[in-house]
């Protein structure tokens, strides 16, 4: 049984399951362990964290005379589903900090792979957990921030974005395994690209048949790298090797299909494609998220698992957070939050008049409680905005 208790009630002999609050604010990269070291107990109490979760099936319970209030959960995920929900505005700054650290950790790992050295995932592990915490508090913040990448840092931030998407999709699906493993699999899925020549990866024009064949080798090359890496589990190996497979068997490298494709490989395929086609690349500009989902729906037959794709759409929304839309009234707004009742009517922050071509007072409109409807998805550049300006508007009053 999992219980939430005050840090003041924590004592030696308890099985610590997780810590409330940001992973950036405590000294541990994991929290599932028996608390048997007084130094660890002191470190937790000194960290400023007020509550922790314990597992009474694996360690001591709170003494009855303490008379503390507890909360009980039955989640099987090792990373929380219980984080206190936060607003988009409150979570964006934390998401930015985590993204920057995760990007640097990914660069470090991938550069070691590029040089032919063995890689270590120990520095990335706590950041995967921090991404999971952020997704639990407000998934839109991390998913929006992770879209902000240019062609130069695409390879690294793509990996971080797929990490976040895998975690969010896993939560949507009620994934019964370890959410941390899903995130790590997303982070490592493209490490094999470090074995591909830069002039091929970054070629702005069309690839030759030989160059495309080289690109298709990156899942196997990644699997070979990860197979020699300590602490990498089977989920990461599976997603790395099979994220380009298709349910109809026309993918690569093994052309496996149907039930032979694992759940995590099918998840990886959807997350990888979505982030790839919504990102600016050296050879093309990324699609807006809503347009990307429409394209993926057209490709769905034979390419993606139907149930997983539908769950993915629910995860990011038909109009994902950060999308610029024009309402029927002519006002422009940015999607800030999904509706629990319908994907077609999210919350919108209006800020601009398309008819007057001038800013207007910011206002949040819940389309489930309004006569307004979305007329179209807009390209920010067509109105003189870039992605940074869109993100700035999200957090402005």
Query: Which pLDDT belongs to residue 283?
Result: 75
Residue 69 has pLDDT above 60, yes or no: no
Domains (ranges, CATH) in the chain?
2-73 (no CATH), 88-316 (1.10.3210.10), 324-395 (no CATH)
pLDDT band at 83 (very low <50, low <70, confident <90, very high): low
Residue range 92-132, pLDDT digits in tens: 889 999 999 999 999 999 999 999 999 999 999 999 999 99
Own/partner contacts of 242-247, CB < 8 Å, gap of 24 or more, are 242/268, 242/269, 243/189, 243/219, 243/268, 243/269, 243/272, 244/216, 244/219, 244/269, 244/272, 245/269, 246/302, 246/303, 246/304, 247/302, 247/303, 247/304, 247/305
Residue 201 has pLDDT above 50, yes or no: yes
Average pLDDT over residues 54-75: 53
Residue range 2-32, pLDDT digits in tens: 777 888 888 888 888 777 665 444 555 455 7
Residue 136 has pLDDT above 70, yes or no: yes
Query: Which pLDDT belongs to residue 254?
Result: 94
Query: Which pLDDT belongs to residue 111?
Result: 93
Residue 65 has pLDDT above 60, yes or no: no
Residue range 321-345, pLDDT digits in tens: 888 999 999 999 999 888 878 888 9
Query: Which pLDDT belongs to residue 163?
Result: 97
Residue 78 has pLDDT above 70, yes or no: no
How far from 36 is each of 9, 23, 44, 87, CA to CA, in Å?
15, 21, 13, 37
Residue 380 has pLDDT above 80, yes or no: yes
Residue 66 has pLDDT above 50, yes or no: no
Residue 363 has pLDDT above 70, yes or no: yes
Residue range 246-275, pLDDT digits in tens: 999 999 999 998 888 999 999 999 999 999
pTM of the model: 0.77
Residue range 271-297, pLDDT digits in tens: 999 999 998 887 788 888 888 999 999
Query: Which pLDDT belongs to residue 90?
Result: 85
pLDDT band at 397 (very low <50, low <70, confident <90, very high): low
């Amino acid at each position: 049984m999992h219980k939430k208790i005050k840090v003041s009630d924590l004592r030696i002999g308890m099985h610590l399951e997780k810590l409330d609050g940001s992973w950036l604010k405590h000294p541990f990269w994991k929290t599932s362990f028996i608390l048997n070291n007084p130094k660890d107990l002191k470190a937790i109490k000194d960290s400023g964290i007020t509550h922790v979760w314990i597992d009474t099936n694996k360690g001591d319970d709170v003494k009855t005379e303490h008379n503390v209030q507890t909360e009980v959960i039955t989640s099987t995920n090792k990373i929380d589903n219980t984080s206190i929900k936060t607003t988009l505005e409150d979570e964006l700054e934390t998401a930015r900090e985590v993204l920057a650290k995760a990007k640097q950790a990914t660069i470090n790992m991938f550069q070691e792979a590029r040089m032919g050295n063995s890689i270590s995932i120990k520095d990335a592990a706590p950041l995967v957990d921090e991404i999971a915490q952020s997704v639990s508090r407000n998934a839109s913040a991390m998913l929006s921030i992770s879209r902000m990448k240019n062609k130069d840092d695409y390879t690294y931030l793509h990996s971080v974005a797929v990490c976040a998407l895998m975690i969010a999709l896993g939560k949507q699906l009620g994934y019964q395994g370890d959410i941390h493993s899903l995130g790590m699999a997303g982070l490592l899925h493209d490490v094999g690209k470090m074995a591909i020549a830069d002039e091929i990866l970054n070629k702005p024009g069309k690839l030759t048949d030989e160059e495309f064949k080289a690109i298709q080798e990156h899942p196997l090359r990644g699997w070979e790298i990860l197979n020699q890496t300590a602490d990498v589990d089977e989920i990461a190996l599976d997603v790395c090797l099979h994220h380009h497979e298709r349910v109809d068997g026309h993918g690569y490298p093994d052309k496996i299909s149907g039930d032979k494709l694992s759940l995590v490989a099918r998840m990886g395929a959807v997350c990888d494609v979505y982030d790839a086609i919504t990102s600016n690349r050296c050879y093309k500009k990324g699609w807006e998220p809503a347009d990307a989902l429409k394209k993926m729906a057209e490709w769905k037959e034979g390419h993606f698992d139907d149930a997983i794709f539908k769950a993915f759409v629910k995860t990011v929304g038909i109009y994902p957070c950060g999308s610029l839309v024009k309402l029927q009234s002519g006002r422009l707004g940015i999607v800030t939050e999904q509706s629990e009742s319908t994907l077609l009517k999210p919350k919108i922050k209006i800020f601009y008049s398309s008819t007057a071509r001038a800013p207007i007072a910011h206002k949040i409109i819940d389309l489930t409680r309004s006569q307004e409807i979305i007329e179209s998805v807009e390209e920010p550049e067509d109105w003189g905005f870039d992605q940074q300006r869109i993100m700035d508007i999200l957090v402005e009053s």
